[in-house]
Amino acid sequence: MDSMAELVMTVLFFVLFTAVPLYFWYKIGKHFENKHYVSIKEREARFSKLPFSPSDTIDETRHVESIMLVTGQVVIGSDPFKRYIASLVNLVGGRISVFEAPLDRARREAVLRMKESAAKMQADEVINFRMDTMSVGHNAGGEPMGIVEVVAYGTAIRYARQ
């Protein structure tokens, strides 16, 4: 009887102080994620006509008017829900699906920003496209903060107009 009451208290404690806050953080994170995806899709449609490729070949038949290095970089943070679940998955192993969406958002956003700066110089295409990641989101000696950083860069080419 007493141990039953203790079990109920433990479960209640867990729900109140762990599950409810986690759900709250999950909802907040989901809200910003959805908002970001709406913006990503809208801009991807807008810039879909601008070709970009990792190859270094250009259209030899046309005269190149100008070239420029274009970059896009983005840093996306995580929320306590993602960090908590990721740390738990890290105990038992398995895919950390909570960080898939932030990484996907960061990658697409970085490409979009690169394309945006290429569009500013009215480029016809981006060649030598590369992507990179770096670590700015680690405080010295502390816990990793679950921050996703992506840099996309390439050479924007503008051909001479006939």
Partner 1 sequence: MKFVARLVEEDENINVSPYSTFSAGLRVMFQVVLLGLGVYLVLGLLVDFVVPYIPPSWEDALAAPIMEEVSATRKNTDNFKTAEIQQLLDSLADKIENNSRKFKVSVVVEKDINALALPGGHIVIYSELLEQIESENELAMVLAHELGHFVSRDHLRGLGRSFLFFIVANVFLGDSSATKSLMNSSGILQNNYSREQEYAADAFALHLLVKHYGHSGGASDFFTRLAARESLPDLVHYLSTHPASAKRIKAIEQLTANNHYQIGSVKPVFWKSAPQAEATSTSEK
Q: Which of 103, 119, 131, 147 binds partner 1 (CB under 8 A)?
A: 103
Q: Which stretch binds partner 1 (CB under 8 A): 21-29, 61-69, 113-121, 144-152?
A: 21-29
Q: Give the three-class secondary structure for 132.
A: strand
Shortest Cβ distance from residue 117 to partner 1 (Å)?
Answer: 18
| Distance (Å, whole) CA 126 – CA 51 | 6
Q: Is 133 in the site for partner 1 (CB under 8 A)?
A: no
Distances, alpha carbon 6 to alpha carbons 12, 15, 19, 54, 55, in Å = 10, 14, 18, 61, 64
The pair phi, psi for residue 91, each rounded to 5°, is: -80, -40
Q: Which stretch binds partner 1 (CB under 8 A): 53-61, 68-76, 132-140, 149-157?
A: 53-61
Contacts with partner 1: how many residues (CB under 8 A)? 37
Task: From 72, 151, 155, 75, select the one nearest 117 (Cα to Cα).
Answer: 72
Neighbouring C-beta atoms of residue 79, cutoff 10 Å = 20
How would you list the strands of the sheet with 148-159, edge to edge? 64-76, 148-159, 125-132
Q: 95 or 161, CB closer to partner 1?
A: 95
Q: Which of 13, 17, 23, 24 binds partner 1 (CB under 8 A)?
A: 23
Q: Which residues bind partner 1 (CB under 8 A)?
A: 2, 19, 22-23, 26, 37, 41, 44-45, 48-49, 51-53, 55, 57, 81-82, 84-85, 87-89, 91-92, 94-95, 97-98, 100-101, 103-104, 107-108, 125, 143
